[in-house]
Structures are given as C-alpha cells and as structure tokens.
Amino acid sequence: MAKITLDKLRHSYMANPSGPQDYALKELNLDWEDGGAYALLGPSGCGKSTLLNIISGLLVPSEGRILFNDRDVTTLPPDQRNIAQVFQFPVIYDTMSVFDNLAFPLRNRGIDEGRVKARVEEIAAMLDVTEMLKVRAANLSPDNKQKISMGRGLVREDVNVIMFDEPLTVIDPHLKWKLRSKLKELHHRVRATMIYVTHDQTEALTFADQVVVMQDGEVVQIGTPVDLFDRPQHTFVGHFIGSPGMNVLSCEVRDGGAFVAGHQVSLEGAVTVGAGRTEVGIRPEFVSLSATGLPATVRKVSDLGRHSVVEAMLGDTRVNAIVEGAVPGQGEAVHLTFRPDQTRLYCDGWIASEKGRAA
C-alpha cells in the first residue's frame, strides 16, 4: 500500500516537443492517499491511459517524477514497482488452471508453495471463484476471466497500487453492475490504493471516492462525485458528467448581469470576468418549465420512465430540461426558468462565478 505522488509530471510521445500541444500529458501535480479509491475519467485520447502507463512503469515520463511513499520510482520497471494492473481485455494464461493463474505472480517471485496455496485460496474465496480453481482458465466466461485478472492483482499482499484500465468494457451489461459492486467490496476489504480508468461516468462515480476528470492531457477537476455534479470547475466536466450533461449557453455579460439570447439570467453569485468567451452553465435538473421566463420552443421530448427530458430551442441554442409529471408537446411554446443558485458563469471554459451573494 502506498501514497502516490505525481510531481511536475509531463509526457510527450515526440522526441522534441516544442509547445504544450505536443504533450499527451500536460503538467500534473497530484497526491493520492494510501488506500484511496480513485477514478481517472475522460474521453478516449485524453491521456488517461498514458498516465496509467506512467504509474505502472510501462512508460517513462519525459519530465517530472513519480513517488511511491516518497520514494522516487520514475525509472523503475513495472516488476520492481510492486503494482498490479487489470486490463481492458481480460489477460489470463490460457493453458493454466485458475489456481495456477492466481499463483503465477507469487511463484514468479519465489514464494514457497505453502504460502502460495493459502494466499490463492484466500483470494479465490474473496472473488467467489473457489469452485473454479481446477478449471482451465481458457474455459471461463469473460466476466470470470476478468475476475481472475483482478485476482492476480490482489494476490500479492505488498502491492502498492492496483490499477484498472477500463476493466468492464467486454463484460455483459447485467454483469457489469455485479462486478462493479464486487470491486467496491474488495476495496473495502483489502484497503489497497486503487486507480480506476474509465470513460464511463457511472463506473467512475460509483467506484471512486475521488474522481480525476481529464481532457486533452490536462486534469480539469479533481473532486468527489458530488463536487463534480454540483460545481463543475470547467464546462467540459459539466457536459461530460450527468445524463444529459450540463447546458452550456453562450451569454453576454454587461452591467454585472448575464444575458442569454437577450434575456437576463440570474447567477449564483458574484462574477469575475476577463476578456474571454462567457457562458452560462445550468444542469437540466435545475431547469424548469413555467409561466414566465425565457421563451423557447419544444423540439423533442424523450420519456425516460421516471422523468422526461424536454429539449427546447432558445433561439438557436438547445436547452435540456428534466421534467417530472406532465410534459408539453412537440412544437409548443414554453418558458424556461433556471434555479439561480445552480446557475454558474464560465469564462473561457473555467468557472467564473462564486457561490453566495447574488449578482
């Protein structure tokens, strides 16, 4: 178990990067506490796998250091870092039995057979695979194969960190949920530092205590699932998290107020606006249909069972609203109101309003 520190970490796949655009991973300073459950969330190509490979030692960063318990491991190969990794596609050794698969990392390290047996049985019990120990690993179903790859990570008692690289990609939807709760349960039992990489917000939010959201090689926000939902620091986070994501409407700021399509919108608090592009961000959960407010036309209504998503056009911009109960018909004229304490202002993508005092 270990605390992980990323110190001024940067990485470029090019030999001579000339500017920030050449970096797959932009400068990063981060502390991960021992025993925490973290998620790295972001779309494909945002640099999360690069970061993961740097932590596991499959990749040496161009700049900066990585420390496990304050010990510099930047240039150490994976086998000397004492880490474990579970990959997108289950990696199992086909020709071996489940038992031999689980024992493999221990036997490679020369641990005596008695200890190996005890440890494998303990992990197998934890994963509910005891009755499969004698089966050839190639005969397992994908979700059980993935369990075995997890087991190979958990079997070593001294691992510093266990990393999961989109581990549920190939698992059937109805088993995803089961495996995810298993993972959460395992985290509580073994208390190892775990890092979970995914582009699926549900997986990230349900697994992690702290979620690191990445975009274009940059960390845009680190926070608890509640933080990310409540106060996205960047429009990207707002848009990426939530279903549907946050409405981001371009606006004009004048006389201390924000105007969307010519109508004033009240914000959560004071704003500090620079010269950049300004936008208003409001989650669909906090948009309501009412008698007064911003005039809009309903373009589409999707009934999701418990509630409906109403897609309304405010001039040329689309605004989603989550509505419970009666919904308007398509083409109907409606008025939208935004809950002021949930209405944020963003400048060049970053949050520019403060909580509290109304503007």
Query: Which residues are near another protein by CB under 8 A?
Result: 56, 58, 77-79, 83-85, 87-89, 91, 93-96, 104-105, 108-109, 136, 138-139, 149, 152
Question: What's the closest the beta carbon of residue 222 comes to another protein, in angstroms?
Answer: 26
Residues 6 or more apart whose CB falls under 8 angstroms from that of 326 comprise: none
Helices then strands, each counted (H, E), the chain: 8, 22
Residue whose CB is less far from another protein, 134 or 306: 134
Distance of CA 88 to the CA centre of its chain: 15
Q: Least distance from C-beta 234 to another protein, angstroms?
A: 31
* DSSP-derived secondary structure letter, 249: E
Which residue number, 89 or 350, has a Cβ lying nearer to another protein?
A: 89
User: CB of 53: closest distance to another protein in angstroms?
Assistant: 8
CB of 303 to another protein, least distance (A): 41
Judged by beta carbon, residue 170 or residue 313, the one nearer another protein is 170
Cβ proximity to another protein, 87 vs 259, nearer residue: 87
Cβ-based nearer residue to another protein, 33 or 94: 94
Cite the DSSP H helix spans in 57-200: 98-108, 113-127, 142-154, 173-190
How far is CA 18 from its chain centroid?
Answer: 29
Alpha-carbon distance of 202 to 257, in angstroms, equals 35
Residues 359, 349: Cα–Cα separation, whole Å? 20
Q: Name the minimum Å distance from CB 54 to another protein.
A: 13
User: Distance (Å, rounded) from C-alpha 239 to C-alpha 113?
Assistant: 52
Least distance from another protein to the Cβ atom of residue 89, Å = 6
What is the SS3 assignment for 354?
coil
Among 187, 113, 116, 115, which Cα is nearest to 150's? 187
- Residues whose CB falls within 8 Å of the CB of residue 357, separated by 6 or more in sequence, listed in order: 269, 270
CA angle, residues 83, 89, 92, in degrees to nearest 5: 70
Q: Which residue's CB is nearer to another protein, number 88 or number 264? A: 88
In angstroms, what is the minimal distance from the CB of 355 to another protein?
A: 44
Contacts for 228 with CB less than 8 Å, ≥ 6 apart: 205, 211, 213, 221, 237, 241
Least distance to another protein, CB of residue 196, Å: 16
Residue closer to another protein (CB basis): 94 or 252: 94
For another protein, the closer CB: 18 or 108 = 108
The amino acid at residue 305 is G
For residue 270, what is the DSSP state? -
